[in-house]
Amino acid sequence: MSQPTIKTNPGRYFEDFHPGLILNHATPRTLTDGDAALTLALYGARHALFSSAPFAAACGLAPAPLDPLLVFHTVFGKTVPDISLNAVANLGYAEGRFLASVSAGDTITSTSEVLGVKETSNGKTGVVYVRTTGVNQHGAPVLSYVRWVLVRKRDAAAPAPADSAPKTAPFVPASDLVLPTGLDFSGYDFGLAGAPHAFEDYVVGEKIDHVDGMVVEEAEAQMATRLYQNTAKVHFNQFERAKDPSGRRLVYGGVVISTARGLSFNGLENAGLILGINAGRHVNPYFAGATLFAWSQVLDAQPIPGRSDVGALRLRLVATKDRPCHDFPDKDDAGAYPAEVVLDLDYWAAVPRRGA
């Protein structure tokens, strides 16, 4: 037989990325009611906007929107084969904005542009910065965010490229946030939503212990990660992971984010609609079986120009494993986190105002 071509995807190495490179990611994905039900089953989310079509319609959103984090995980999952198959670590997120609602029946594709690269001092790896955009079936962007990952070099002897690392904003300015078309919280039913706390009730600096704890099982972590078509080996290949010092499959960080968000319902019942992601770090690995806890801090509270029905809260969500959060476990002055802290996420959410 003639020599066949290589059929499997070896993934890109650091040398394969250069500023301006456009990556059109594979596997468009139609999200459905099935994905919404699995999202509930996996995270126990209770935000009324994503649980009840009539509630969403009463807020001006018909058809009902899907949980923005489902959109985030879907958009993110598509980038893995092109960006992070040979990644050592996911280092950070910035400048994330949700730009349009996504509803059951909508189809998502993802594209990334390499913003810059910077070799690390050891010469074996480099940081790749990309802006990823999720687009719906009409070509309209639904999500945009910057992410940077540490990627292996194919050849350590290859010369370092010029440092083209971009400067990212420390957080999304409130004035850049985009409300879903049609959103109207003027008749928001706080009772049905589960708590009376309005935008005005949250105080900058306030910390909230979300009290509840929840385990993620291996099966749950795998089902969620597959649902997003995120095929990173560390989440599934136990045979290979047995050689890692942990000996364990690593749970996809997005599962930790969504579980912590589910827990944060207890105290942030009306902050379901995420508008932006300012920053995020997976501080320590999370392995299935540990109990996740979470606490939040209100970092900022901004009105939205021309709107009396809704404001934007900037929230910090910290998740821990096997450690309740009544004492708000946090990094120390040197920026070092306790071993139990697994997530530090900074985001904006739309919260109804109490009204006139």
Measured from the CB of residue 92, what is the shortest distance to its own copies in angstroms?
26
Residues 345, 307 contacting (CB under 8 angstroms): no
Letter string b/e over residues 263-297, b meaning 16 or more CB atoms within 10 A of that residue's CB: bbbbbbbbbbbbbbbbbbbbbeebbbebebbbbbb
Closest CA to 130 of 174, 164, 171, 88: 164
Judged by CB under 8 A, how many residues of this single chain contact its own copies? 91
Q: Which of residues 303-322 bind its own copies (CB under 8 A)?
A: 322
Residue 351 interacts with its own copies (CB under 8 A): yes or no: no
Q: Kindly list the distances between the CA atom of residue 215 and the CA atoms of 36, 44, 281, 291, in Å, as whole numbers in the listed order.
A: 20, 11, 20, 4
Residue 233 interacts with its own copies (CB under 8 A): yes or no: yes
Q: Which is nearer to its own copies, 141 or 194 (CB)?
A: 194
Among 30, 155, 328, 355, binds its own copies (CB under 8 A): 30
Residue 118 interacts with its own copies (CB under 8 A): yes or no: no
Letters for 122-151 (x = contact with its own copies by CB under 8 A, - = none) are: ---------------x--------------
Residue pointed to by tokens 């900058």: 204
Residue 203 interacts with its own copies (CB under 8 A): yes or no: yes
Q: Which of residues 54-83 bind its own copies (CB under 8 A)?
A: 54-55, 64, 81
Residue 297 interacts with its own copies (CB under 8 A): yes or no: no
Virtual CA dihedral for 166, 140, 315, 331, nearest 10 degrees?
Answer: -40
Q: Which is nearer to its own copies, 4 or 245 (CB)?
A: 4
Measured from the CB of residue 298, what is the shortest distance to its own copies in angstroms?
8
**Direct distance between the N- and C-terminal alpha carbons of the chain, in angstroms, rounded to an integer:** 78
Residue 32 interacts with its own copies (CB under 8 A): yes or no: yes
Among 150, 165, 178, 223, binds its own copies (CB under 8 A): 223
ω into 63 cis (within 30 of 0): yes
Q: Which of residues 261-290 bind its own copies (CB under 8 A)?
A: 262, 266-269, 289-290
For residue 350, give the 3-state DSSP assignment.
Answer: strand
Residue 239 interacts with its own copies (CB under 8 A): yes or no: yes
